[in-house]
Amino acid sequence: MIKKVYLIVIGLTLGLSASAMAQNEATVCYDGSTSNSAVCNDLAAVTGFVGAQIPGTFNVGMQWAYAVPAGAEWVEYQIQRDGVGLSSSFSPSYLDAGMAVGQYSYSVRVHIKSGTGGATVNHFGPWSHVSVKVAAACSLQPVITASANTSLIWPPNHKMVPLTISGTISQEPGCSLVGAFYRLNDEYGVNQAGSLTVGPNGGDYSVTVYVEAWRLGTDMDGRAYTFTVDASNQAGPGTSNAVVATVPHDQR
């Protein structure tokens, strides 16, 4: 008998982690007695079984591939979570929705029916496994602190002097920073911005900018440089307290 093999192609994009690869057991197949059941002998495990939490949700997405033997009359995939059966899938993917935070073990195997003359034989492939961690979803914006190495710039001699701003960007577990920036401005028209070097989980930062040590002689309340830090994660943007360094009218 000539065996024909058809490849099921998956076209899903679930943002799955490449590190969550399946480990397959030894091949097991249960043969039947009907004339064409031999096409299901030595059923292979599914291939490319991966699973991961879908970003921004408490849902677990899984996908895999399988070459269905010719002559198979009926194909489904049996899925288990922590050894307990879930709904079967007739496509090489599955969505487990509304999960609690925790670690889960998923298994999948192919179930094929074959037969002729009204007789049906069940065939099962070996289980394949993948472990998936469901983490807390991000619900709070970053919390940012900021302080300057000085609040007073003196003397007003037109020199460019360094102003260092440092602080911490923190966030709850399950969040990842998508950007961190600083802004510097004053009433004389200075408007400067730049990015900060900080990891996806946040942490300490420090940035040094150069400002002019000068103010107009008629500026009685002095020249105020205002510095703020912005950072964003999946929950939205957060902004630091305003840090002010002043070139006063006179030193008192």
Task: Give tens-digit pLDDT for 49-77.
Answer: 999 998 778 899 999 999 987 767 789 99
pLDDT tens track for 190-206: 999 999 999 888 999 99
Pick the closest to residue 51 from 150, 126, 134 (CA basis). 134
So what's the architecture of 143-247 in CATH? Sandwich (2.60)
If you search the block for the tokens 């970003």, which residue do you land on?
Answer: 55
Lowest mean pLDDT among 153-157, 173-177, 239-243: 173-177
Within 13 Å, how many C-alpha atoms sit on residue 222's CB side? 20
Average pLDDT, the chain: 83
Residues in the chain: 252
pLDDT at 223: 98
Between 29 and 199, name the one with better pLDDT: 199
pTM over 0.75: no
Do 97 and 59 touch, CB atoms closer than 8 A? yes
Q: How confident is the model at residue 137 (pLDDT cuts 50, 70, 90)?
A: confident
Lowest mean pLDDT among 30-39, 168-177, 212-221, 224-233: 30-39
Q: Would you give the DSSP letter of residue 140? A: S
Same fold, 5-134 and 143-247: yes
Give the CA distances from residue 167 to residues 159, 189, 196, in Å, rounded to whole numbers and listed in that order. 26, 25, 11
So what's the architecture of 5-134 in CATH? Sandwich (2.60)
pLDDT at 242: 95
Distance CA 196, CA 205 (A): 7
Distance CA 10, CA 104 (A): 23
Distance CA 150, CA 95 (A): 54
Burial of 215 (0-12, 13-18, 19+ CB in 10 A): buried
Q: Give backbone dihedrals phi and psi of 245, rounded to 5 degrees, phi first.
A: -120, 130
Distance CA 238, CA 180 (A): 9
Domain range summary for the chain, segments of one domain joined by +: 5-134, 143-247
Do 17 and 82 touch, CB atoms closer than 8 A? no
Lowest mean pLDDT among 77-81, 200-204, 205-209, 245-249: 200-204
Pick the closest to residue 250 from 205, 219, 204 (CA basis). 219
Average pLDDT over residues 214-235: 95
